[in-house]
């Protein structure tokens, strides 16, 4: 069975601070995807990034960066110079590759509040 854990329920920072959201996953499968989704107060789920289990290369996209480490089963998400618009619930998720219609298994989510 697969499991995703986001130990940080809520994080509060002041604008321009850097913040890291932790994600730890469990799976016995060797081929899987990891995702991050953002859920702003308006409620929609917005796709941010997908990584494959066979590609541990870290990724940077503007103020966002992701650190994937198979050795620690972690896929952490860092926001640099946070902004008020980053306030949202962030979900880490896992799914299996080569699994038609395979479900996403979500973590519990981390609610990020960025104060001006």
The residues binding other proteins (CB under 8 A) are 33, 35, 37, 43-47, 50, 91, 95, 97-109
How far is residue 113's CA from residue 82's CA, in Å, rounded to a whole number?
A: 10
CB of 81 to other proteins, least distance (A): 27
Dihedral in degrees, nearest 10, Cα atoms 14, 16, 18, 22: 50
CB of 37 to other proteins, least distance (A): 8
Q: Which is nearer to other proteins, 17 or 106 (CB)?
A: 106
Dihedral in degrees, nearest 10, Cα atoms 50, 93, 33, 83: 20
Q: Which is nearer to other proteins, 70 or 103 (CB)?
A: 103
Taking the CA atoms of 23, 25, 7 and 107 in sequence, report the sign of the dihedral they define: positive
CB of 83 to other proteins, least distance (A): 23
**Proportion of the chain in helix, strand, coil states, percent, rounded to 5:** 5, 55, 40
Q: Which is nearer to other proteins, 13 or 102 (CB)?
A: 102
Q: Which is nearer to other proteins, 3 or 16 (CB)?
A: 3
């Amino acid at each position: 069975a697969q499991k995703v854990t986001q130990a940080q329920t809520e994080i509060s920072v002041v604008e321009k601070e850097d913040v890291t959201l932790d994600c730890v996953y469990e799976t016995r499968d060797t081929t899987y995807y990891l995702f991050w989704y953002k859920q702003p107060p308006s409620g929609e789920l917005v796709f941010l990034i997908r990584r494959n289990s066979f590609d541990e290369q870290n990724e940077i996209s503007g103020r966002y960066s992701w650190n994937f480490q198979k050795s620690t089963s972690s896929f952490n998400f860092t926001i640099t110079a946070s902004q008020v618009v980053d306030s949202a619930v962030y979900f880490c998720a896992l799914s299996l590759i080569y699994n038609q219609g395979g479900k996403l298994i979500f973590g519990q989510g981390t609610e990020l509040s960025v104060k001006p």
